[in-house]
Amino acid sequence: MIGRLPGFLLLMGLAGPVAAQTGNPPPPSSPFRYDDDPKPVAGAPTDDFYAKIKFIPLTDDSYLSFGADLRERVEASNVALLGFRNLGSETYDLHRLLVYADLQLGSDVRVFGQLGNHDEAGRRPGALPTDVDRFDLQQAFVDLSHAIGEGRATLRVGRAEMSYDDGAIIGLRDGPNVRQVWDGVRASYVTNGWKWDAFAVQPVSVLRGVFDDRGLPGQTLEGVHVSGTLSDALGLDAFWYHNRNPSVALLGAAGAERTDTFGVRIRERTGPFDGSVGVIGQSGTAAGGRDVRAFSLHGDAGWVFANAPWSPHLTLRADVLSGGPATKNRVSTFNALYPNVAYSTEATIEAPANLIQVGTVLRASPTAKLNLQYTLEGLWRYSVRDAFYAPPLLPLVVPDGRNDRFTGIEQQVSGSWRANPFVTVGAALVRFSAGDFVKRGGGHDETFAMLSAALRL
């Protein structure tokens, strides 16, 4: 395990010589390393270290590329998960090392593999399931591609990361130490600003040993996702996902789940304005054959003040996620399946279930390398007869018979600084001020802090 201070020093020590021996690589445009395009460095000088590992020509149209990610992250809180996990203060380290190789054989065949090492030290009472995976196959897949009509079709077979629609239902899970990956197949077709994806996959469990991760028994996910541009200003996401899970626990009910989740989101960007509206429905059966009737609504509107110092961007947003007690025949609690749990703040306290969330986000860029953000949100329960949930879908505070919906106010100040072409430093400070409902249930106000440094080659 790379410890707290030595890990940061090693990361910065590695970045200095690498940056000194290379030109300026393009800034990362995607969190997925399989989206990297090494071809722009093909003509770099022979003494360019970055180019040596990023583009190794094999033939005229084949090449081999290597890359790595090292992230050291320190988190601290006065109480963990509002005091329900740990009442005392704690500080702990999260270490992540990922190394990949990408082999492109002509224009139609690609082989991608990534190994991962994840560790944790200091969390009390112990590591979370997503903290430790000592050495395993993080990703390994084969892409078979071919030009069809005006577009290109790709069949991906193996283990891979994926995320859609800002991680609302299928997210990257980058905040936790071990990212979510999937075993299965995915077919894609891209043409004229549109992308169609169809997949049949199984979520992979996180086991602590060496090469022991495997698909979660009985859990599967199939779906179709379409995204594209309706006009110069409008974009569309539309999807349908079919989920099977042999064991889901809700307030007052537990059992197998088999649901269909379907939705649409319209996005607009016109000059300084940007916004989106989305609706998601959920049906099927869960918790002992009960009918599922649940929904989620989202809306946001933002404005860039381009002529103001630091070009601030102000966004107002709101989410409504249904909830209600599991009756003899009905489940009304929305299950976001595999979301990005850090969609609100880095503290990942609340789950997107039985929730009304209204807030604002202010972003600013004092320099090209420094980005700052302030988030302020109010949280209420959608149904007073349902719980306040924590990720993944844990009834953290159960109803107490009173009718107050308010659960708390959450604030976050965060920032990221690109120290050089390869290193990014991030920090966040979160304050969750618990409402009376949470405090009556045993919860406390929480202050959470995070500091991370990431090296990307």
Question: Would you tell me how many other CB atoms lie within 10 Å of the CB of residue 368?
Answer: 8
- Token pair, residue 191, equals 């043409």
Angstrom distance (rounded) from CA 330 to CA 111: 46
Among 119, 93, 103, smallest CA distance to 67 is for: 103
Sign of CA dihedral 244, 245, 249, 255: positive
Judge if the upstream peptide bond of residue 176 is cis by omega within 30 degrees of 0: no
Angstrom distance (rounded) from CA 180 to CA 137: 12
Q: Residue 18, SS3?
A: helix
Residues in contact with 55: Cβ distance below 8 Å, sequence separation at least 6, in sequence order: 38, 39, 41, 42, 44, 63, 65
Domain ranges of the chain: 4-456
Q: For the domain covering 4-456, report its CATH number.
A: 2.40.160.100
Angstrom distance (rounded) from CA 153 to CA 108: 10
Q: What is the pLDDT of residue 3?
A: 46
Q: Amino acid identity, residue 117?
A: N
Give the largest Cα separation in the chain, rounded: 71
Residues belonging to the chain: 457
Q: Average pLDDT across each block of 10 residues of the chain; the chain has 457 residues. List them in order.
A: 51 60 65 91 75 89 95 96 93 97 96 97 92 96 96 98 93 91 98 96 95 94 97 96 91 89 97 97 93 97 97 98 92 94 89 97 97 98 96 93 95 96 95 97 97 95
